[in-house]
Amino acid sequence: MRFLKKDKVEKEDFMDLIFKYHLSMEKYHIHIIYEGQIDETITSAFISLAEKNMNKQNEDSKLIRKVYHIMVEFLQNIHKHADNPDRYDSLSNNRGIFLMASKDGGYVVVSGNFVLREKIPGLQDLLMKVNFMGAKEVKDYYQRKILNEGLSDKGGAGLGLVDIIRRSESKLEYRFENIDEKYSFFILKTYIAK
């Protein structure tokens, strides 16, 4: 009997949770939210879903393209750079949380993933550097990078963040939430105005 009771409580919790979740989705105009492994299949599925939604809403093709580009860079950032705490199994490699929502006529894209705390200073430096660049500097930086540097060992061109800034024309917002002595949770947000 105790089993049954526990079962019942859990079921109610989950149904409660789903409903709350649904209300939040509506409240924040969330189109996509996902937490888990990010790979090519997920990336493809999300960008085509987002494209379809934006087309249905008759969004301008330029805005659709910007959101599309930025989503790819966010998702590939997680895929390439997320560090996974040992407590997750190998199936959970390249894990992260991803959100895309409508806001004030434009779109918000947010991601979250674990990073090793030792990487934070480097990441902060890069974020501060690119956030303070003007349009011309961003372009020069981009050209310099593709010309002079090869791909990283992770196959990236090191241009994801710069490209996001270039296209969104807004500053990146970010935060690091400490998880334990080894890992932090890195949250990155951008806004793409109409």
- Per residue, what are the HEC states of 146-158? HHHCCCCCCCCCC
Name which of 173, 175, 176, 139 is nearest 159 in CA terms. 139
Residue closer to other proteins, measured from CB, 18 or 193: 193
Q: In the bound complex, what is the minimum distance in angstroms from residue 102's beta carbon to other proteins?
A: 21
Q: In the numeric block, which tokens belong to residue 167?
A: 């296209």
Q: Which residues bind other proteins (CB under 8 A)?
A: 39-40, 43-44, 48, 61-62, 65-66, 68-69, 72-73, 76, 79-80, 139, 142-143, 146-147, 150-151, 155-157, 159-160, 162-163, 167
Residue closer to other proteins, measured from CB, 57 or 143: 143
Q: In the bound complex, what is the minimum distance in angstroms from residue 93's beta carbon to other proteins?
A: 13
Name which of 85, 79, 68 is nearest 32 in CA terms. 68
Q: In the bound complex, what is the minimum distance in angstroms from residue 185's beta carbon to other proteins?
A: 23
Residue closer to other proteins, measured from CB, 141 or 176: 141
Residue closer to other proteins, measured from CB, 24 or 152: 152
Q: In the bound complex, what is the minimum distance in angstroms from residue 45's beta carbon to other proteins?
A: 9
Looking from the CA of 190 toward its CB, the CA atoms found within 13 Å total 25
Q: Scan for tokens 């093709």, then name that residue.
A: 61
Give CA–CA dist 192/171, Å, rounded.
10
